[in-house]
Each structure stands twice: as structure tokens, then as C-alpha cells.
Amino acid sequence: MNLLEQITRGKIQRKWIFIAMFVVVAIPYISPMGLPIPLSESTTNLYDVLNEIPDGSTVMFSFDFGPGVWAESGPMAVALVNAIFEKNLNIIFVTFVLDGPPMVDRVLKLSKYYNELEYGVDYCNLGYIPGFETGMGAFAADVNIVKVDYHGNQVNDLEIMDGIETLEDITAIFLVNSTSFDHYFRQWYGRGLPMMMGVQSSGVMLLMPYVQSGMVDGYLNSIRGAAELELLIGIPGSGVKRMDATSMMYVYSTVLTILAQFGLRRQDKEEI
Amino acid sequence: MEMSEILVVLMGSSITMMGWSLIYKENVFYRVIEHLIIGLMTGYTAYTTLTILINNILMPLITDGAYLNIVPIIFGLLLLTRLSKDYAWLSRWGIAALGGIGTGVAIKGVVQAQISNQILATALSFTAGDGLTNFNNILVFVGVLTSISYFFFTFGPNTSTGKILLPLGKVGRLFLMATFGAVIGSDVLCNGAFLLERMEYITTVQYAWVPAVIALALIAYDVLKSRASA
């Protein structure tokens, strides 16, 4: 049985599919193709709303992802942080997942503005808030439930926290997450704050009901969204770098899916 | 590049290769990584949780006289009674508190975020926009209505209402299948992104390709060895 027959009959060994994928994905890194990156409405909406926020305002950024999903969430977080600091806004970082706090530091170090920022004035990392949805609700009602930040400083001593008592005292909510979205809207929606987010491609479908109902002011769709925002703010990063490989992988996955259909149909016929 | 940086790069790339080695076959390198990740996460979880407990619950209780903090501490300790057969029943108090508070907090925002706003988003005009928008609005309305019909089990298929709901449910099933297909598709692409990030690391960071070449050589050796023994 030759290779084509193996593929169309669904008999191919798994390792060959992966080896081919490695090759397909490696090509754009070795020889970049420069495929065009058209801007989507979701990203331009986010950029427009971000630009409407008054300079010097304080926003909250919920980092609800860990190192396991860095590949997708990392570029989005870096692009968003760059866009926020470019607008001269201050950020209060929080996280409701256990492995989120180190991600804040990692993203900040990759930010273009890292060396120009002062901790406690331009940004702070309040660290992990336990309880997930309960924690979100409690934090929205009283920011002072967090006494000590991720680096061991008293939260009351941080200049950025002056005058911030509840969620209503901040100007906008940003988040990048690796879970579903229901709890964010249950706890934070309806307070008159714009909500913008970076979404993994697997989560976009779950976000759609909230986009359709106008509850989301803008979102980044995975690597592509990150690449689009990087282009909009003029700071190319991992998103732009990965777009060629992402496109190649999408094409490869689509071809495999079509070939698998032939294989399944053949199998069905043979069983009959 | 300093020696320490080279070591970090080699370590990062080696760990990636050890993880990926499962694609070839089950092996000891993969097992090592599996255990390493579980161990790291357990240690990190214990450290972070205890630090937060001390900083935000215990210290305010001791230094600021926040006596109400005793309540969550007691409920938390009650959860540990599951370790004893005689006192395991006490843990139900802790679980009840967690469940009760969690449900109460969640219900607060459900009506606006997940019911009223979603109904309003479905009740769209079929004539106000351009042709494509109107078609999309009709599609949303039909999709929601028929998908809900699929889950209507109150009426049997032989009742008069059931006879109306059955064909509606069949159409709804098509919408559901399309949705699940889109979810699975985006999930596959999401997993592919993990590969992209690692490939970027291996192909663009200096010396990161070295463990990849060693891994390929080991696989080639193993393939040749198993062919020779066969």
C-alpha cells in the first residue's frame, strides 16, 4: 500500500502525520513567506475602544492563563500590554488562576516599555486571587481584599492603588484567559466598563454569544489577533512572526481533514 | 551568549524533545518529563496557596485583628477532616459553604449576562439591515429556536406538540453539529499553536536545534536497531 493509499484509507501511522506537520511548520521559520495579515473587525474595535480611554487612566488586566497555554496567550498578552502602555495608561494586574502571576512578569519583560516603567506607579501585580468566580465577585466589590501583592509589598503602599476601592474606580477591563468566559460577564458586566480580551482560538466560539449581544467591546482572536494588534500599534512581535507558520498549519490541517473524509468514506464502503 | 544562557536553551529544547518523543513511542524520556511536570505543579501549587493564605488571611488576623478571618480558616480546616473516617462528615460543612457561596455569587449576574442580554441578542430585526445582515439575523433566530426544540423532552413524539417539535429538533441538530464542528476545529488549531511556539524556539534560538538533532539521531538508531533484530 503506497503513501497516498494509506492516507485515503485512514491507515497511515500517526508519526508520519506529525513529521509532515513539523516540516510544514518549520519551512516559514527558516524561510519567511510574508503572507498578508488583513485586519479583522474584532481587533480594530478593540483598538478603537482602547484609544478612546483617557490618557493616564488606570485599567485592570486579568491574566488568567498559565505557562501551558503561553504559545497562544503570550503573544496576545504582550501585544495588549504594549498597546496599553503606548496609550500611557496604568495597569493593575490580577490573576484568578494559580499559575498566572509569573506570566505577568514574563509578559512585562517582553514589553517594549519595560525599562521605562516604575512598579507601583505605572503598574502593579496583585498576584493570584483564590476562589475563581467568588474571588472575581469579591475583588469587584472590594479591591482591598488583596493585602499583599505578588512581590510582597503592602497593596496600600502602592501609588497606583490610591483611590481604587472597587471595580468601578478603574476605567476598563482587559483579560487574556484559557477558560470559558461566563464568570467574567456574570461578575463584571453591567458596571459601565469596557471589556476587551485576548481569546484562544478554542475559546472564540464560546465568546460569540457575548460578542453577538454587544457585551464585548473588542477581542483578539489568538495569534492572528495578536499579529493584527502588533501591526496596528507598530510593534511587530511573536504574533507577526508566527503568522506564516500559522497559515501553513491551517492549510495542512484542512488538507488532512479533507483526506480523512475520503478515508472514512472508503472504510464505510468496505464495511458495507 | 553566555554559558549559563546556552545551558538554559539546551535544557528548554531537550525538555521539548523529551515531551514530543511520545509521538515516536512510549519511552523513559517522556516519563521523566511527565513526572517532572506533575512534581513542579504540585510544589508550586502548595507554595503559592500557603503564601496567599499567610499574607491575606493569617497575618491580617494576627496583626490587624481581622477576627472574621477565623471563619474561612475553620471551614478550610473542616475540609481536612475527610482524612479521618470518624470525622469525615464534618467536611460537609466546608463543602456546603463553598457550594452555597459559589452558587449565590454566580446567580447574581446570571440574569443580565446570560439570560436577558442573550434573548435580546436573538430578537433581531429581519428587515432593518442589508440583505446579508437580515439573512444572518434570520439564521440566528432559526438556529436558537430549533436548537432549543432539540432539547425539549417534555412532549412525546406521538403527541400533537411532539409532532411539531420533532422536525424542528432535527433542523436544530444540524445547527448543533455545525457548532460542535467549529468548536472542535478551533480546538485543533489551538493545539497547533503550541507546536508553532516550540518550532519558533527550536529554529530561531541559537543552539536550540542541538537536542532536536540528537533526538532524531536516537530515533534513527532505534529504528535501525529494531529492523536489525527483526
HEC string of chain B equals: CCHHHHHHHHHHHHHHHHHHHHHCCCCHHHHHHHHHHHHHHHHHHHHHHHHHHHHHHHHHHHHCCCHHHHHHHHHHHHHHHHHCCCCHHHHHHHHHHHHHHHHHHHHHHHHHHHHHHHHHHHCCCCCCCCHHHHHHHHHHHHHHHHHHHHCCCCCCCCCHHHHHHHHHHHHHHHHHHHHHHHHHHHHHHHHHHHHHHHHHHHHHCCCCHHHHHHHHHHHHHHHHHHHHHC
Determine the pLDDT at residue B157.
78
- Which of chain A's residues have a Cβ under 8 Å away from the Cβ of B196? 25, 71, 223, 242, 245-246, 249
Determine the pLDDT at residue A272.
65
Q: Could you tell me if A177 and A207 are in contact, meaning their C-beta atoms sit under 8 angstroms apart? A: no
Whether residue A25 and residue B24 make contact (CB cut-off 8 A), yes or no, is no
In angstroms, what separates the C-alpha of B83 from chain A's closest C-alpha?
Answer: 22
Q: B36-74: per-residue pLDDT in tens? A: 999 999 999 999 889 988 988 899 899 988 899 999 999
Which are the contacts of B44, defined by CB distance < 8 A and separation ≥ 6? A98, A99
Among B48, B108, B189, the residue with its CB nearest the CB of A98 is: B48
Contact status of B178 with chain A (Cβ, < 8 Å): no
- Hey, which residues 66-105 in chain B have their CB within 8 Å of chain A? 101-102, 105
Q: Please name the residue of chain A whose CA is at the shortest distance from the CA of residue B185.
A: A202
Q: Which residues of chain A have pLDDT under 70?
A: 1, 3-4, 7-10, 272
Q: Which residues of chain B have pLDDT under 70?
A: none
Determine the pLDDT at residue A8.
66
Among A25, A147, A186, the residue with its CB nearest the CB of B113 is: A186
- Which of chain A's residues have a Cβ under 8 Å away from the Cβ of B48? 98, 101, 128
- Which of chain A's residues have a Cβ under 8 Å away from the Cβ of B203? 26, 29-30
Determine the pLDDT at residue A114.
93
Whether residue A145 and residue B195 make contact (CB cut-off 8 A), yes or no, is no
pTM of structure: 0.87
- Which of chain A's residues have a Cβ under 8 Å away from the Cβ of B198? 71
Q: Could you tell me if B113 and A185 are in contact, meaning their C-beta atoms sit under 8 angstroms apart? A: yes
Cβ burial of A240 (10 Å; 0-12, 13-18, 19+) is buried
A with B: how many residue pairs have Cβ under 8 Å apart? Answer: 142
Whether residue B101 and residue A134 make contact (CB cut-off 8 A), yes or no, is yes
Instruction: Identify the residue among A24, A94, A186 best suited for mutation to test binding to B, counting B beta carbons within 10 A and taking the highest.
Output: A186
Determine the pLDDT at residue A90.
96
- Which of chain B's residues have a Cβ under 8 Å away from the Cβ of A240? none
For the complex shown, is ipTM > 0.85? no
In angstroms, what separates the C-alpha of B7 from chain A's closest C-alpha?
Answer: 19
- Which of chain A's residues have a Cβ under 8 Å away from the Cβ of B52? 127-128, 130
In angstroms, what separates the C-alpha of B55 from chain A's closest C-alpha?
Answer: 6
Q: Could you tell me if A189 and A121 are in contact, meaning their C-beta atoms sit under 8 angstroms apart? A: no
Determine the pLDDT at residue B1.
77
Q: A12-44: per-residue pLDDT in tens? A: 777 788 888 888 888 888 888 888 889 999 999
